[in-house]
Amino acid sequence: MARSLDRLYKGFRNLVSLSAMWSMKHPIYSVSSRSPSVRSMAVLPFSFSKPWDFSLPNPSWGPEMMQLYEHYNSMCEVETEGEEKQESSWKRLPGYNRLLKYATGGVYLSKMIQSKARLFTRNIREPGAGFEYVLFVNIKEQKCVCILQAGHLLEGPPGHVHGGAIATMIDTVTGCLASLSGAAMTANLNINYRSPIPLGSTVVMESFLDKKEGRKMFVSCKVTSPDGTKLHTEATALFLSINLNHLMGR
Ligand SMILES: CCCCCCCCCCCCCC(=O)SCCNC(=O)CCNC(=O)[C@H](O)C(C)(C)COP(=O)(O)OP(=O)(O)OC[C@H]1O[C@@H](n2cnc3c(N)ncnc32)[C@H](O)[C@@H]1OP(=O)(O)O
C-alpha cells in the first residue's frame, strides 16, 4: 500500500509539472473585458479534457494582480544564454480544487478520496469572491512566491481580511514549498500580523526554506504590498516530511 500511495503522490506531482509545461507552451489569453463570460469562453476548449486551472487570469483580477502575474509568469519562460536555451528555474503551479480526483488506488484510498472533498482555498466558485491566487516556485533557490487578491468573502475586521484567511494562505504557500520534494505536513505555524490587508487588495507572499534538518523543514514567509513597501504579515513554520501512510492513520 505504501508503494501505491507513493505512486499517487508522484502522479500528482507529474500532473502538476505537465500542466505547468503545458501552460508555458500555450500563452495565457489576455483579459481585456470584465465580462464573466470571457473566462468561460476562453477555457471551454480544454474544460472537458483537463481539470479547471484556478491559477489562470480571470476577469475579476485587478491591474495589480495582472501585472504581478505577468511579471512572474514571464520569469517562467525559457531563458536564453547566447545560443543555448535553458529551462527557467521558475515554474507556475496550476491550481485545482481537488488533489485526488484523478487518482486510482482502490480500497485503500477510499477513506481519503471523498467525492465532495475540495481544496479549502479553491472552493469558492465565484471569481474574485474568495482566494484568487497563483503560486510560483523556484526549485533551485528553494523559494515560493504567491500573488494573492483577497475577495470580499474573506472579511474579518470590517473591510479587511480575516486573520484566519491570511494564516490559511501562509500555510498554503509554506506548505507548497515544503512539499516540493515530497509530502510534508505543518507541525507549527507562528504568525505576526503587522498591518491589516484591505479586502480586494493584492499582496505578494514570499516563502523561503531557511533550514532543513532530517525530516524537519524550517520555512519563513513574508506578506507585503505589491511594491514591497508595506509589510503586512511575517511568519515562520515547521514542516515535517511524512510517509503518506501517516494520512491513513497507520
Ligand atoms: C500531504 C500531501 C501534500 C500535497 C501538496 C499539496 C500542497 C497543498 C498546500 C496545503 C498545505 C497545507 C499543509 C497543512 O495544512 S497540513 C495540516 C495541518 N497539520 C496537521 O494536521 C499535522 C498534525 N500533526 C501531525 O500529523 C504530526 O504531529 C506531525 C506529522 C507534524 C509530526 O508527527 P511525526 O510522528 O511524524 O513526528 P514526531 O512527533 O516523531 O516528531 C519528529 C520531530 O519533530 C519534532 N516536532 C513535531 N511536532 C513539532 C512541533 N509542533 N513543534 C516543534 N517540533 C515538533 C519532534 O520534537 C521531533 O523532533 P526530534 O525529537 O526528532 O528532534
- 6 tagged catalytic: no
Q: Express each pLDDT in 72-81 by its tens digit.
A: 999 998 877 7
Has residue 159 got a pLDDT over 80? yes
- The ipTM is 0.95
How far apart CA 34 and CA 23 sit, in angstroms, is 22
Q: How many domains does the chain have?
A: 1
pLDDT score, position 80 = 78
Q: Which of 53, 171, 210, 227 is catalytic?
A: 171
pTM over 0.90: no
Q: Does ligand 1 come within 6 angstroms of the Cβ of 186?
A: yes
Q: Express each pLDDT in 106-157 by its tens digit.
A: 555 665 666 778 899 999 989 999 999 999 999 999 999 999 999 999 999 9
Atom of ligand 1 nearest to the CA of 12: 4
CA atoms within 13 A on the CB side of 234: 5
Q: Express each pLDDT in 53-68 by its tens digit.
A: 999 999 999 999 999 9
In testing the pocket of ligand 1, which one of 14, 185, 215, 250 has its CB within 8 Å of the most ligand atoms? 185
Q: Return the residue whose CA atom lies nearest to atom 50 of ligand 1.
A: 187
User: Distance from the CA of 108 to the center of ligand 1, in angstroms?
Assistant: 22
Q: Which of 8-17, 36-45, 79-88, 145-154 has the lowest mean pLDDT?
A: 36-45
Assign residue 182 a region (left: φ > 0; alpha: ψ between -120 and 50; beta: otherwise): left
Q: Can you read off the three cell numbers belonging to residue 205?
A: 507572499
User: Distance from the CA of 171 to the center of ligand 1, in angstroms?
Assistant: 12
Has residue 189 got a pLDDT over 90? yes
CATH code, domain carrying 61: 3.10.129.10
User: Distance from the CA of 33 to the center of ligand 1, in angstroms?
Assistant: 44
Residue 130: which residues within 8 A CB-CB, separation 6 or more?
121, 123, 124, 151, 153, 154
Show the domain range for 243. Answer: 2-247
Chain Cα centroid distance, residue 103: 20
